[in-house]
Chain A
Amino acid sequence: MSGDNLAGAKWFEQRVAEWRSAGARLRGLEHGKSAPPATVLEAVRAYPEIARDLAIARRAAPNAALTRYLEGVYRELHRSLFRPPAALWRGVRRLFTHDAATAVRALRWQIVAVVSLFVVSIGAGAWLVSAYPELASLFASEQMIDGVQRGELWTDNLLNVFPSSLLSVRIFTNNIVVSLFALSLGVLYGLGTFYLIAMNGLSIGGIFAFTAQHGIAGRLFQFTAAHGFVELSVICIAGAVGMSLGEALVRPGELTRAAAFQRAVAQGLKLMVVCLTFLVGAGVLEGFVSPDARFPLGARLAIGLSYFALFLLVLSGALARLPKARAARD
């Protein structure tokens, strides 16, 4: 028997009971918050000891089953001990009061750029259809064109086709998918986002121009008044987030491309979670208010602008300032 073998055997016999109990202790830690303090303290004590044993095992027998066992125990202990505290609701509240506003401030130039692109595209779409009316077929289906030519909007009888609840779900699902596409296509160096925003702008401009040619643009505006402000703003913000992703890939600055991309995604996602929440509300308005002829234009504008004001209040960070202002007044 060599001296190394004897030392190894001594080490093994001294430590094997600890390795067994460390493995058993992991099952107690799996439950997270419900783990008793004694178990957690034991795990804290065992962590550096297992690390030392693992370092020895890696050197002495890198491919052995004991090393694999210690790797597993060490990995699980590390995961359990360094798990961040759960703070889901605090995180959600912070999202609406601070994070969204911070992201808007960081993305202000991208938002300006995308809104400008959107407005220019709307103008271009309107000009194209005004100058060349036959181009309306690029933005509207044959059925829609026939209806508009008869003085009818495709939104006129929506409630006869779908009940409001169903309409809302369909609309906000579709809008969420469009927004997420606008965001995630930013991965194509921002080009996918530009394309999506420009196409949406062209379609809206083209369709408004086409309905104006038949004298029913006012009715289309009336239909969109309650939900449109927030809906279009969210699509522009999604585009701005997508643009920031593209920018992170093109100009990562001092970070690596992957790190810059991750930072842009993390920031943009916080903003998007807030925006998509508002998009669900816009979908509900589009299902229940917009197609209902009982709502006059004034009521629709009041609803739409109030909802838009709430949206701006959240994105400006004013919600976070309210408690401070109240405290200062008291």
Chain B
Amino acid sequence: MNLLPVTAYHASAISCLSCHLLCRWEKMDARIPGRCPRCGARLHVRKKNSIARTWALILTALMFYLPANILPITHLSQLGTVQSDTIISGVIYFFKTGMWPIALIIFLASIFIPLLKLIILIFLLISVQRRSRWRPRDRTRLYRITEAVGRWSMVDIYVVTILVALIKLGAVAEIDAGPAAVFFAAVVVSTMLAAMSFDPRLIWDTQESHDE
């Protein structure tokens, strides 16, 4: 009686990540990356170079995270004076003027979520690399969270886009995007790509090799 959980890997099959067709995988064939016979997507036993790619994208995001938070994201010129705002100074401003729901939204979307995503992904990568067996179900859930929340970090970019378009009143008031905008956009894109390149099946692979 075989009580082992049977995975596609153990059944010598590849599950197509695009259409979920289970395809036979001939182990002797070294040229694995074929294409799915149904939908034509490239087949990989696991996402390609998942760990290395995810690490690279996390490091990229970390590099951009600092300038994104230190440099000003908007310049407001009003009647001859220029005021530069960073993401954090915006949050503090809203908090002080009593608009704490807005302060909270911006804090969560722009500062907390990107950092949380990076920390979770680093934790997942280290746990996979150390072949940890700790709570695979919860770790998969953590992964799902990072996949779902990442997009909300774009809020600040959209706010800047709307502000620069609306406040363009010549000498009276004008808002320009600051240098942090592009760094911040890079943080959002690279953390999203990092989450996409991580393969949650790696969490479960170590589980099975210990069972055997």
- A and B associate: no
